Amino acid sequence: MSIRFTSATVAAAVLALSGCAQMDTNALLQSGSSAAQAAMLTDADVQKLSVQSCQQQDAQSKIAPANSTYAKRLNNVMKGLPTSVNGAPLNFKVYQTKDVNAWAMANGCVRVYSGLMDLMTDDEVRAVLGHEIGHVALGHTKKAAQVAYGVAAARGAVGAVGGATVNALSKSQLADLAEQLVNAQFSQSQESAADDYSFDLLKSKGYNPQALVTSFQKLAKLDGGNSSIMSSHPASADRAKHIQDRINSGK
């Protein structure tokens, strides 16, 4: 079950991310107003924003070609898993970079970095991507888009919310929003829900959910120097224990 996302929720996130301690009363009121507007982004607005943000990230990244070892391996990893969630077709690509990361956006855009694939087995990559798909399926990525837009609005980086405004974003505005979406900070409850989604998905498709545990254990051992995923996904060791407890309980 997804968490209800209200304008007050967005406002709190925007004020925290905008450095509210340094803003005057009028600025705080404006931030709250911007956040309330951002919470009113329609599904169509979120889809447009996600499509444009994903395209922006693709344009500045080195994508593994279809005939590459990475792309072929990813195709094999995703066999048997959903091809769409919530009506959005899932689109997978590999970014060739030593960084260890994976992310998804509300339009079904899912990206995994070759650094993560080098670190993990096929089963572990599948488990991580199941987690990212969970963020899409449970509506977390939509909420992340609303928060990102609210932050940009509070900073005066974008104007009033609406389809025309989303379509009219400049390259620099879009780059900033795309970066925020890639590095979205999900709550502990959202992370746990996405973990459970991946666990249930793997189990329903006949894959071993133990791979979710070992993927977290590997992430927990990273020093953080080249891991973007560690900055936005907290407490890997605790999450590994939660999934192991589920495996042990048979639930």
User: Measured on CA atoms in the order 224, 129, 77, 98, is the torsion positive or negative?
Assistant: negative
What is the pLDDT, as a whole number, of residue 34?
47
Q: Domains in the chain: how many in total? A: 1
* 65 occurs within a structural domain: yes
How many Å apart are CA 125 and CA 113, to the nearest integer? 10
- pTM score of the predicted model: 0.78
Whole-angstrom CA distances from 182 to 37, 50, 74, 101 are 22, 10, 20, 9
Does the active-site annotation cover 132? yes
What is the pLDDT, as a whole number, of residue 190?
92
* 111 occurs within a structural domain: yes
* 2 occurs within a structural domain: no
Instruction: Answer whether 141's CB lies under 8 Å from 106's CB.
Output: yes
**Bridge-partner residues for 110, per DSSP?**
92, 104
What is the pLDDT, as a whole number, of residue 149?
78
How many Å apart are CA 228 and CA 235, to the nearest integer? 14
* 142 occurs within a structural domain: yes
State the residue range of the domain holding 67: 7-249
How many Å apart are CA 243 and CA 251, to the nearest integer? 10
* 232 occurs within a structural domain: yes
HEC string of 204-240 equals: HCCCCCHHHHHHHHHHHHCCCCCCHHHHHCCCHHHHH
Q: Which of 124, 132, 179, 191 is catalytic?
A: 132
* 1 occurs within a structural domain: no
The list of the chain residues with pLDDT below 70 reads 1-40, 153-169, 223-235
| Rounded (10°) CA dihedral 42, 47, 55, 133 | 130
What is the pLDDT, as a whole number, of residue 115?
97
Whole-angstrom CA distances from 89 to 83, 95, 128, 197 are 6, 19, 18, 18
Whole-angstrom CA distances from 46 to 59, 107, 177, 194 are 20, 8, 12, 20
* 185 occurs within a structural domain: yes
Q: How many residues comprise the chain?
A: 251
**Which residues contact residue 246 at a Cβ distance below 8 angstroms, ignoring those fewer than 6 apart?**
196, 199, 209
What is the pLDDT, as a whole number, of residue 172?
77
